[in-house]
Chains A and B, each alone.
Chain A
Amino acid sequence: MYSASDLKKGLKIEIDGAPWIITEFEFCKPGKGTALYRCRMKNMITGIGMEKTYRPTDKIDTPDIEEREMYYSYFDGHHYVFSDPNTYEEMQVSAETLGDQAYFLIEESLCNFVLYKGEPIEITLPTFIEKEIVETEPGVRGDTATNVTKPAKIDNGFEIQVPLFINQGDIVKIDTRTGKYAERVNKA
């Protein structure tokens, strides 16, 4: 159990069986009245925001949250399978849970898992990955007045916008948090 004085931004708590993370915290003390802890929080599963005000004597449940590093193993046709580097325990993650991040998985790369009651609710990939551009039109010199980027695809079909000087075969760095081009690593 947390007591109200433990509350702070970034703290993960449990309310009615759901995990919430505190996004904003303010100590309040209305004149001559009791101290109050005003919190804004986000449901870690649904993403819904909420405001709640606590008194100094309030107690708050601690959530069954665990953080683990898992490396990406393989795709079994239905799920993306990750392994614990210490126990070799496997965990299956659905395409739905990963979303676009599935395009940025590289075998053996270590990812940070936040698990609530054993289920992954947040997966953080390495920030950047390097991928070869397998398909893109040659950039037309002097065309920068109307276009500064053009579409390009990586091997799994994911499309990103790249600068005009990028050619097929170039290796580029992609920011896995945004899915956007970061820089060129190698020319073809």
Chain B
Amino acid sequence: MIVANLKKRSVMLRALREFFYSRGFFEAESPMRIPAPAPEEYIESVSAEGGFLRTSPELALKRLLAAGGERFFELGKAFRSGEHGRKHREEFTILEYYAAHWDYRRLAAFTAELFAAAAQAVCGTERVTFRGREIDFGKVEYITVDEAYRKYAGVSAFAADARGDFDELMVTKVEPELGKNGIAFLIDYPANRASLSRLSAADPRVAERWEVYVSGIELGNAFGELVDAAEQKRRFAAAYRFRAEQGMKPYPEPEAFYAALEQGIPESSGCAVGVDRLAMILCDADDIGLVRWE
């Protein structure tokens, strides 16, 4: 455990909170142990007597949107079974925030400002050195998923998705090129990688989803949230089928979340940030173990 880094992390956590409080977001604390995680193809939850540890607070926080929460964030632990590596821990810290009536691009601009505020607080500057390279948190660029694949992998994102090597190309060719000297938003994912985001009205081949990168490291994932109950249930059904085929844990259906969808969730966007990874960048650490309590 590196106490110096834990102290920097503390400065970062304070700066993140203050940024949200100053923009009118309040802090919420939803349950760690939940009855029904969101069914996802490649994320597995940790079981906890009588329920499961949350893989993210998403379903709970969307209920808060339905209840009129308007603008809020949650900063706490999340758990994803089987994930361990230089940038992964089963137990990690997630920062998730939602804003009713904001579209996903507005949330991107907000996120860039959030990160810059954290850099300023921890490093005293928006120009941070990470692994020998200067990252300017004031420099923000946007690139669509399809543009990025065509530029860095030589194939359209839709073609890569169809032929089955979308993930391999993301990891080997696309991600390493993103955010080399600043913040990069990889935006508009192919429709069948929408997850819980809604499809773009302008171009239904893509979803309102972005991921944000610094120095090739994914720091966050955001959605223009899907609030159509029927479409969400249809996507969950496909995920339950896939999970059953793969022998993954069976989950009960998230009844409280369905009720919120039926009640009506306002058009909103939301984002989830890997706080440990942001700490890695700000502490110039190349391993997640160096910036958290282990």
> In the complex, what's the smallest C-beta–C-beta distance from A23 to chain B, in angstroms?
15
> In the complex, what's the smallest C-beta–C-beta distance from B89 to chain A, in angstroms?
11
Stretch with Cβ within 8 A of A (4 or more), from B7-15, B122-130, B162-170, B251-259: B162-170
Do A30 and B83 touch across chains, with their CB atoms under 8 A apart?
no
> Chain B's interface: helix, strand, loop or mixed, by majority?
mixed
**Known contacts A28-B171, A53-B171; is-contact A34 B42 (Cβ 8 Å):** yes
Do A30 and B86 touch across chains, with their CB atoms under 8 A apart?
no
* Chain A residue at smallest Cβ distance from B167: A33
The proximity string for A residues 3-45 relative to B, scoring 1 for CB distances below 8 Å and 0 otherwise, is 0000000000000000000000011111111111010000000
Residue B68 is within 8 A (CB to CB) of chain A in the complex: no
In the assembled complex, the Cα of A28 lies from the Cα of B175 at a distance in Å of: 11
In the assembled complex, the Cα of A31 lies from the Cα of B194 at a distance in Å of: 11
* Chain A residue at smallest Cβ distance from B82: A35
Residue B88 is within 8 A (CB to CB) of chain A in the complex: yes
Do A30 and B195 touch across chains, with their CB atoms under 8 A apart?
no
Do B167 and A26 touch across chains, with their CB atoms under 8 A apart?
no
The proximity string for B residues 34-57 relative to A, scoring 1 for CB distances below 8 Å and 0 otherwise, is 000000111100000000000000
The proximity string for B residues 156-200 relative to A, scoring 1 for CB distances below 8 Å and 0 otherwise, is 000000000011101110010000000000000000010100000
Contact of A31 among B84, B88, B221 (CB under 8 A): B221
In the assembled complex, the Cα of A33 lies from the Cα of B82 at a distance in Å of: 14
Residue B74 is within 8 A (CB to CB) of chain A in the complex: no
**Known contacts A38-B172, A53-B172; is-contact A30 B167 (Cβ 8 Å):** yes
In the assembled complex, the Cα of A131 lies from the Cα of B188 at a distance in Å of: 69
Residues of B within 8 A of A34 (CB): 42, 167
Contact of B167 among A27, A36, A51 (CB under 8 A): A36
Do B88 and A32 touch across chains, with their CB atoms under 8 A apart?
no
> In the complex, what's the smallest C-beta–C-beta distance from B218 to chain A, in angstroms?
6
- Interface residues contributed by chain B, number (CB under 8 Å): 22
Residue B211 is within 8 A (CB to CB) of chain A in the complex: yes
Total contacts A to B, CB within 8 angstroms? 47
> In the complex, what's the smallest C-beta–C-beta distance from A41 to chain B, in angstroms?
15
- Interface residues contributed by chain A, number (CB under 8 Å): 14
Do B86 and A26 touch across chains, with their CB atoms under 8 A apart?
yes
Residues of A within 8 A of B40 (CB): 32
In the assembled complex, the Cα of A32 lies from the Cα of B166 at a distance in Å of: 12
Do A30 and B84 touch across chains, with their CB atoms under 8 A apart?
no
Residue B31 is within 8 A (CB to CB) of chain A in the complex: no
> In the complex, what's the smallest C-beta–C-beta distance from B56 to chain A, in angstroms?
11
In the assembled complex, the Cα of A35 lies from the Cα of B85 at a distance in Å of: 11
Residues of A within 8 A of B42 (CB): 29, 32-35
* Chain A residue at smallest Cβ distance from B166: A33
Residues of A within 8 A of B43 (CB): 32
In the assembled complex, the Cα of A115 lies from the Cα of B85 at a distance in Å of: 31
Do B83 and A35 touch across chains, with their CB atoms under 8 A apart?
yes
In the assembled complex, the Cα of A36 lies from the Cα of B170 at a distance in Å of: 11
**Known contacts A34-B42, A35-B42; is-contact A29 B170 (Cβ 8 Å):** no
In the assembled complex, the Cα of A38 lies from the Cα of B171 at a distance in Å of: 9
> In the complex, what's the smallest C-beta–C-beta distance from B3 to chain A, in angstroms?
27
* Chain A residue at smallest Cβ distance from B88: A27
Subset of 19 A-B contacts with CB under 8 Å: A26-B85, A27-B83, A27-B85, A29-B42, A30-B170, A30-B175, A31-B211, A32-B41, A32-B42, A32-B193, A33-B166, A33-B167, A33-B193, A34-B167, A36-B168, A38-B171, A51-B172, A53-B168, A53-B172
10 closest A-B pairs (Cβ-Cβ)? A27-B85, A33-B167, A30-B170, A28-B171, A32-B195, A31-B221, A30-B167, A31-B211, A34-B167, A34-B42
5 more contacts with CB within 8 A, not counting A30-B218, A33-B193, are A27-B84, A27-B86, A32-B42, A32-B195, A53-B172
